[in-house]
Chains A and B, each alone.
Chain A
Amino acid sequence: MAERLLTVEGLSTHFFTHAGVVKAVNGVSFTLDRKETLGIVGESGSGKTVAALSLMRLIPDPPGKVVEGSLMLGGRDLRTLSDEEMRQVRGNDIAMIFQDPMTSLNPVLKVGRQIAEAITLHQDKKKAEAWEMAAALLDRVGIPDARKRVDQYPFEFSGGMRQRAMIAMAISCNPDILIADEPTTALDVTIQAQIIDVIEEMQQRYESGVILITHDLGVVAEVADKVMVMYGGRTVEYGGIDEIFYNPHHPYTWGLLGSLPRLDQTEKTRLTPIKGQPPDLITLPSGCPFVGRCLYERPECRDQWPALEIVGPEHGVHCWIPEAERREIRATLPHFQEYVA
């Protein structure tokens, strides 16, 4: 049994705005073990990033607030830590890689200085020592000529190299948990694969747990051990990578997978997009947030959020449709034909 790093239970984060309460995250639970990669997928506005920022306690307050839940890191609940203790957690225990490498580095500071600063914040190191470490880290994430590169400014780096530098900064204090918030979205497709490789390599080396937030199911399929599918601020389904891709139970997961092109698709078929728009997070229905877009909606869906149904080892789903019926419906979908047999 691997070491459990993080246990999140019933996390709810709401934003109290003039227009009303935006319920960005509602009762999300997940765990993360050492050396494990959790993929959080969902479309824009599904609460992926807010969930991650809640972990770091980086939700701007006001208007945002973690209203419920426990965030256990080791033996400590992150919600009860003081601001000062939380600052020690950030970067040291939990580090984050951001989406856009072009804007996540301070343009007026040398790259080496920014990494060295992250080091001196948490470790008792002299400036020169930290600088040496920064050069070594840049080298480790695959930046050639790192000794010269530490002395350069971000504008002298390409996008892929900046993301590498961001990774170097994130791993500089050997964090237990690495949160990567859409780390490849802003990059070229060719660079994306390299960056994912670097993240995986660093995970192996530092034995961290990785939370990978993305809407790219391809990336998830490649690196994640388990997946959490979010919609409208709720977890609709979670499970091991194979379970989610080959035995999905929630209509939303079907929709996500059905809207992806497949390499083994022989006949000419159109991709099936999920019709409609994501829900307004202020006026969420009390039931399942997917109502209105779900093709298999039932009367009870609107009023009550279905309880967690365990459908396999480490595989759970929130859906009112009975399991047998779900399997029948899935068997009719073109995307899942071959699994039925």
Chain B
Amino acid sequence: MSERSTSGDIGAADLVAGAGGEVAMAGDRLAGTKPLGLWADTWRRLRRNHLAVVGLGIIVVFLAVGMTQEVANLAGVSTGERGAGYLAPYDPNAVNYELSPKGLGSPPSWSHPFGTDYLGRDVFSRTLVATRISMLVGVIAVSIALLIGLILGPISGYYGGWVDAVIMRTADIFFAFPYILFVLLIMTVLGPGLWNVFIAIGILSWASYARLTRGSVLSVKAMEYIEAARAQGASDLRIIFRHVLPNTMAPVYVAIAMGVGGAIVTEAALSFLGIGIQPPNASWGKMISDYLSYLQVGSWWMLSFPSVFLVVTVFGFISFGNGLRDATDPKLKE
């Protein structure tokens, strides 16, 4: 009683207001600063991380370049002599022996900023066209991996038991094989070709996404709102993909950013080994492999530019992924 009397009329007013009490409190909060949503909050913290912003910038630029090439490719624009309407100024596969005296290419000049290669092809055009391949590999291979991983992972975690055992042991098998050897194996079975590169890399990376989501699902499925959804009569599939999966995605976004970088490197490695992109088409890995020997005779430009593009792109994806992880980590919240 004495406690109540010290708070005096305020307490009494609160009691009279009844339902108004809690509502008023929530109302004040609304009137003040509006709480940020998950993405707005993440973006706010991501912006402070300069490296991540640089990474995002790189990703945007390269995706734009890749997409321009892709659109041109789909529209059937032929790459003619000079300025055919999109980024690559020359036909990336046009051989011109005059530009390659002694078969060693020609160094960078105003008309060929990255120089020409041993067949007189414009290295700048080839590098740009290769950007399309690398971006396609990154996006499509990771999409395939996500499609498999984000279906099998949640199912594995949600149902547990033998379903979990079968899926996770399969994932273990995929982890146990040496990565490049497994890709080589699949590529040998499927045969070389752009789409087969996507499929091979996609099939090989699903396991990490599956494992990642399975772990999160295990913790989320014990939450009370999952039981509440079940008490409403929601089906298993609805619970998994509407209630469980969206709550497990934060680490997956980070893995995607990293995974795209990884897929690009893997494609480069495959092309370097000669089972990726087939000539005369260009990819960064293919170019690195083709031009490697010309470094010894002084034609540095052939190798340098695709290498730099590759490194910068992968750096972009990884630093963005790192930044994203920091920004979504609640423990780092200030």
CB distance from A162 to the nearest CB of B (A): 10
Instruction: Kindly identify, within residues 153 to 170 of chain A, every residue whose CB is under 8 Å from any CB belonging to chain B.
Output: 153, 155-161, 166, 169
CA separation between A105 and B226, bound complex, in Å?
8
Stretch from A8-16, A89-97, A249-257, A289-297 forming part of the interface with B: A89-97
Question: Would A104 and B22 count as touching, CB distance under 8 A?
Answer: no
B13-27 interface bits toward A, Cβ cutoff 8 Å, 1 = contact, 0 = none: 011001101110111
Question: Would B233 and A91 count as touching, CB distance under 8 A?
Answer: yes
CB distance from B154 to the nearest CB of A (A): 14
Question: Would A105 and B225 count as touching, CB distance under 8 A?
Answer: yes
Contact residues in A for B44 (Cβ distance below 8 Å): none
Number of residues from A at the complex interface, CB < 8 A: 40
Contact residues in A for B47 (Cβ distance below 8 Å): none
Residue of B nearest to A102 (CB): B224
State whether A90 and B23 are in contact (beta carbons under 8 Å apart), knowing that A103-B223, A107-B247 are contacts in the complex: no
Question: Would B35 and A160 count as touching, CB distance under 8 A?
Answer: no
Residue of B nearest to A89 (CB): B233
A58 at the interface (CB under 8 A from B): yes
Contact residues in B for A106 (Cβ distance below 8 Å): 225, 229, 243, 246-247
CA separation between A104 and B235, bound complex, in Å?
17
B319-332 interface bits toward A, Cβ cutoff 8 Å, 1 = contact, 0 = none: 00000000000000
Instruction: Kindly identify, within residues 88 to 130 of chain A, every residue whose CB is under 8 Å from any CB belonging to chain B.
Output: 88-92, 95-96, 98-100, 103-109, 117-118, 121-122
CB distance from B129 to the nearest CB of A (A): 40
Residue of B nearest to A101 (CB): B224
CB distance from B290 to the nearest CB of A (A): 48
B234 at the interface (CB under 8 A from A): yes
Question: Would A169 and B232 count as touching, CB distance under 8 A?
Answer: yes
CA separation between A79 and B4, bound complex, in Å?
52
State whether A87 and B22 are in contact (beta carbons under 8 Å apart), knowing that A155-B35, A166-B228 are contacts in the complex: no
Of the candidates B22, B25, B234, the one whose C-beta lies within 8 Å of that of A121 is: B234
Question: Would A98 and B224 count as touching, CB distance under 8 A?
Answer: yes
CA separation between A218 and B37, bound complex, in Å?
40
A202 at the interface (CB under 8 A from B): no
Of the candidates A100, A118, A144, A160, the one whose C-beta lies within 8 Å of that of B224 is: A100
CA separation between A54 and B247, bound complex, in Å?
27
B98 at the interface (CB under 8 A from A): no
State whether A104 and B224 are in contact (beta carbons under 8 Å apart), knowing that A142-B19, A158-B26, A194-B18 are contacts in the complex: yes
Contact residues in A for B50 (Cβ distance below 8 Å): none
Question: Would B233 and A191 count as touching, CB distance under 8 A?
Answer: no
Question: Would A121 and B26 count as touching, CB distance under 8 A?
Answer: no
Of the candidates B19, B223, B242, B243, the one whose C-beta lies within 8 Å of that of A194 is: B19
B227 at the interface (CB under 8 A from A): yes
Contact residues in B for A117 (Cβ distance below 8 Å): 232, 234, 242
CA separation between A143 and B20, bound complex, in Å?
10
A190 at the interface (CB under 8 A from B): yes
A224 at the interface (CB under 8 A from B): no
Of the candidates B26, B231, B246, the one whose C-beta lies within 8 Å of that of A108 is: B246
State whether A104 and B233 are in contact (beta carbons under 8 Å apart), knowing that A160-B22, A161-B26 are contacts in the complex: no
Instruction: Kindly identify, within residues 9 to 46 of chain B, every residue whose CB is under 8 Å from any CB belonging to chain A.
Output: 14-15, 18-19, 21-23, 25-27, 29-30, 35, 37-38
Q: Which of B19, B25, B232, B247 has the most chain A CB atoms closer than 10 A to its own CB?
A: B232
Of the candidates B35, B233, B243, the one whose C-beta lies within 8 Å of that of A156 is: B35
A56 at the interface (CB under 8 A from B): yes
B-side binding surface: helix, strand, loop or mixed?
helix
B206-241 interface bits toward A, Cβ cutoff 8 Å, 1 = contact, 0 = none: 000000000000000001110111111111000000
Residue of B nearest to A115 (CB): B232
CA separation between A91 and B38, bound complex, in Å?
30
Question: Would B21 and A96 count as touching, CB distance under 8 A?
Answer: no
Q: Which of B15, B224, B247 has the most chain A CB atoms closer than 10 A to its own CB?
A: B224
Residue of A nearest to B25 (CB): A158
Question: Would A90 and B224 count as touching, CB distance under 8 A?
Answer: no
CB distance from A63 to the nearest CB of B (A): 12
Q: Which of B37, B227, B231, B242 has the most chain A CB atoms closer than 10 A to its own CB?
A: B231
Contact residues in A for B231 (Cβ distance below 8 Å): 56, 58, 90-91, 95-96, 98
Instruction: Kindly identify, within residues 277 to 298 of chain A, every residue whose CB is under 8 Å from any CB belonging to chain B.
Output: none
CA separation between A178 and B24, bound complex, in Å?
29
CB distance from A202 to the nearest CB of B (A): 14
CA separation between A119 and B18, bound complex, in Å?
30
CA separation between A160 and B21, bound complex, in Å?
10
Contact residues in B for A166 (Cβ distance below 8 Å): 228
Of the candidates A91, A95, A157, the one whose C-beta lies within 8 Å of that of B26 is: A157
Residue of A nearest to B18 (CB): A194
Of the candidates B23, B30, B225, B232, the one whose C-beta lies within 8 Å of that of A103 is: B225
Contact residues in B for A96 (Cβ distance below 8 Å): 228, 231
CB distance from B234 to the nearest CB of A (A): 6
Contact residues in B for A91 (Cβ distance below 8 Å): 231-234
Contact residues in B for A56 (Cβ distance below 8 Å): 231
Contact residues in B for A98 (Cβ distance below 8 Å): 224, 227-228, 231
Contact residues in A for B229 (Cβ distance below 8 Å): 106
14 A–B pairs (Cβ distance < 8 Å), ordered by A:
A56-B231, A58-B230, A87-B233, A91-B233, A96-B228, A96-B231, A98-B228, A99-B224, A106-B229, A108-B247, A117-B232, A118-B232, A122-B233, A194-B22
**Residues of chain A whose beta carbon lies under 8 Å from any beta carbon of chain B:** 56, 58, 87-92, 95-96, 98-100, 103-109, 117-118, 121-122, 142-144, 153, 155-161, 166, 169, 190-191, 194
Can you list the 3 inter-chain pairs with the closest CB atoms, starting with the nearest?
A: A90-B233, A91-B233, A91-B232
**Residues of chain B whose beta carbon lies under 8 Å from any beta carbon of chain A:** 14-15, 18-19, 21-23, 25-27, 29-30, 35, 37-38, 223-225, 227-235, 242-243, 246-247
Further 15 A-B residue pairs, CB within 8 A, beyond A107-B225, A117-B242, A142-B19:
A89-B233, A90-B232, A90-B233, A95-B232, A98-B224, A98-B231, A103-B223, A104-B227, A106-B243, A106-B246, A143-B23, A190-B15, A190-B22, A191-B22, A194-B18
